[in-house]
Structure 1
Amino acid sequence: MSELNDQWRSNGAVLLPEDLVAAAEWEEIAAEAQACAPDAFDRVNEREGLQPQRNGSITSPQRCRAHPGGPALKALATSARVLDLAREATGEASLVPVRWGLKLYEPGDFMALHRDDVRCTITLSTGLIGDLGVMGWVPSLRAADSTTVVEYAEQHGLHPDEEEPLPIPYRQLQGFDGWAIPHHRPPFEHDFGVLATLCYCAL
């Protein structure tokens, strides 16, 4: 076992080395994201409360914009150096990249408590543009059944803060277990921000 795998097993989150991605590569990806922004599509769910799905995911109210990104982001997601560390962290040798993209936030945008709708073994994310603040999450409910998660939200709200939030690093990849751990994006407080996400699944 490695230190990365120890982090992953203990709390479902792992911070990859800061020097994994060069500053020039981040600049290229950020410039690409800025160019993609006018073509981003709305991601809006106005239904009230949490909605458990048959596949184990949980959807909830949200508002932001999204874009699948471009060649620079794809190159990062499919690079051997990132994949090798994602495999080391999770202990899954069969891990492969399955999707990547951008989430664009403006004042007031949010994602209420949810579990991801694609069964990714690990999701890597980073603040690409702007200050993304923190991701609220509830690691104590890792792999809990959907009913338990819904009851928790009914008691603590759609943006619970009972557990320590996970800071979103700026241009440094952080992995988390978004399929098993309920998490949320508190209302965004800045003018503009872009979150990059890379998702990997074990075959």
Structure 2
Amino acid sequence: MKLDVQTLAGKKSGSVDLDDGVFGNEPRKDILHRMVQYQLAKRRSGTHQVQERGDVSKTTKRIGNQKGGGTARHGNGSVSQFRGGAKAHGPRSRDHSFDLPKKVRAMALKHALSAKVASSELIIIDDAVLKAPKTADLRKSLEALGVTNGLVVGGATLDENFAKAARNIPNLDVLPSQGANVYDILKRHKLVLTKQAVQDLEARLK
């Protein structure tokens, strides 16, 4: 599969051959869904917790008389009916993550890349480098490429000027090639890869 390569100014700068095994798969929604759920579950802190009966320190003395009080026969004051009492069956601290086979995770990334190719939402640029960290210049370059909501994936290291210029642009994410993941790819409308990013991803997923 061959795609055109553009410069940041939106001009054609040759072409690149994409590996069909990485960019030419038939996207499977079930695999993509499993991977997104895996990523979102893994990032949850799981620190939610409330006080239950064993966490509340209150007197265990009977609140009133067993009979003759005209109310229910209440015992311990740490139950959820009383002010300062515990919550029944509340959330506890736990790990929300679950396991997903490494092969399935690799397959999901291939299908995410393939989905962008199939929907014509993949743009290849020669390099993501700016002479100065100016947001206005980068905004003009992205407009020339037709990117208003996108993810830019560079090489192993990002150009510092490019990364700084991208900070103040809404709906734009910038990641190194090793940080490319399914959730961030699917979250944005356009995927912009440098030629180095293409090589890195193909080497990672072959």
TM-score, length-scaled by structure 1: 0.32
- Structure with the bigger percentage of strand: 1
Of structures 1 and 2, the one with the larger relative CO (CA 8 A, separation 6+) is 1
